[in-house]
Amino acid sequence: MWLSTGWLGRDWREWSGAKCRVGALHSRAAHAERLR
């Protein structure tokens, strides 16, 4: 395979990191809505 695991691992970390940030933003917004 020409895809190196290093490239794949970095891509996966960036993608999962972005997903976690989006999830945190959504949960924070939902929490703010409940507090209001």
**pLDDT per position as a tens digit, 1-36:** 455 566 677 888 888 889 889 999 999 999 899 887
Alpha helices in the chain (DSSP H): 5-35
Copy the structure tokens of residue 16: 């999962």
Residue with tokens 């997903």: 19
- Please give the model's pTM, rounded to 2 decimal places: 0.48
Distance of CA 7 to the CA centre of its chain: 18
Q: Is 27 exposed, middle or buried (0-12, 13-18, 19+ CB in 10 A)?
A: exposed
Predicted local distance difference test score (pLDDT) of residue 15: 85
The reported pLDDT for the residue numbered 5 is 61
Instruction: Please give the pLDDT value at position 36.
Output: 79
Please report the pLDDT score of residue 27 as a whole number.
92
